[in-house]
Amino acid sequence: MPIVAPSILSADFNNLERDIRLAEKAGADWIHVDVMDGHFVPNITIGPVVVEHIRKITQLPLDVHLMIEKPERYIDAFRKAGADIISVHQEACTHLQRTLQYIRETGAKSGVVLNPATSHQTLEYVIDDVDLILVMSVNPGFGGQEFIETSIQKIQAVRNMLAHRKVFIEVDGGINDQTGLRVLKAGANALVAGSYVFSAQRPADRIQTLKKLSASSVTA
């Protein structure tokens, strides 16, 4: 079964606790937290203070996606706030290897994120420093965007590059039951979904639908 990580960017921020508890109860594996700084991406969202509060209401691993410039400045803060997985953008790091190594030193799992235009080949020399590769299937900044088709090719390339390594391949942006199935077939094993889950009448059903998707399904 795939890892399902609902993105709280599309949750109801007036009822964040309710939505997170609902996701946990519905079988979500991780909570995906989108951190944006208004520089690396046009939008501004949440910081360590909110993560600290989320940490108090769920046992689930917090999957923190940093869409910020110079993310190395905030790794300690997010780790202290309770992040379990910390992912930085390849495009935002001058010294990517050092940053990934540092994330691991804090005890968190290290993730690296690729924008749609960034090649998987940029990760060739840091492949043993990552626990997770996050393939963006939209340009980061907002929920509710349309899935970019070339992501499928990139996921396959990442899968081939990883060979036997135990590294999560997570996909983020425009994921629903259909794109979700396709990215799993391409080799991904973790799905982020924001609007598909939280804009639905019954978010729990959507989480369940994603959990049941299987790469070996014949219906694609």
* Residues involved in catalysis: 34, 172
Distance of CA 199 to the CA centre of its chain: 18
What does 195 interact with, of ligand DX5, Zn ion, none (CB < 5 to 8 A by kind)? ligand DX5
The footprint of ligand DX5 on this chain (CB under 6 A) covers a number of residues equal to: 22
Instruction: Give the C-alpha separation, 18 to 11, whole Å.
Output: 9
Among 2, 3, 4, 9, binds ligand DX5 (CB under 6 A): 9
Residue 126 is which amino acid? V
Closest separation in Å from C-beta 207 to ligand DX5: 12
| Cβ 125 to Zn ion shortest distance, Å | 24
Residue 194's DSSP bridge partners are none
Segment near ligand DX5 (CB under 6 A), from 14-22, 54-62, 115-123, 191-199?
191-199
> What CA–CA distance (Å, rounded) separates 1 from 215?
9
Q: How far is the CB of 96 from ligand DX5 (least distance, A)?
A: 19
Which residue from 50, 60, 52 is spatially nearest to 28, judged by alpha carbons? 60
| Site membership for ligand DX5, residue 195 (CB under 6 A) | yes
Q: Which residues contact 53 (CB under 8 A, 6 or more apart)?
A: none
Nearest CB to ligand DX5, comparing residues 48 and 143? 143
Q: Does the protein bind ligand DX5 through residue 38 (CB under 6 A)?
A: no
Residue 130 CB, nearest approach to ligand DX5 (Å)? 18
Which of residues 7, 87, 90, 110 is near ligand DX5 by CB under 6 A?
7
Contact residues: Zn ion, CB under 5 A: 34, 65, 172
∠ CA 129-31-33, rounded to 5°: 75
DSSP string, 50-107: HHHHHHTT--SPEEEEEESSSGGGGHHHHHHHT-SEEEEEGGG-SSHHHHHHHHHHTT
Q: Is 145 in the site for ligand DX5 (CB under 6 A)?
A: yes
Given ligand DX5, Zn ion, none, residue 196, with its beta carbon under 5 to 8 Å by kind, binds: ligand DX5
35, 141, 128: which is closest to 79 by C-alpha? 35
Summarize as ranges the residues that interact with ligand DX5 (CB under 6 A): 7, 9-10, 32, 34, 65, 138, 140-145, 172-175, 192-196
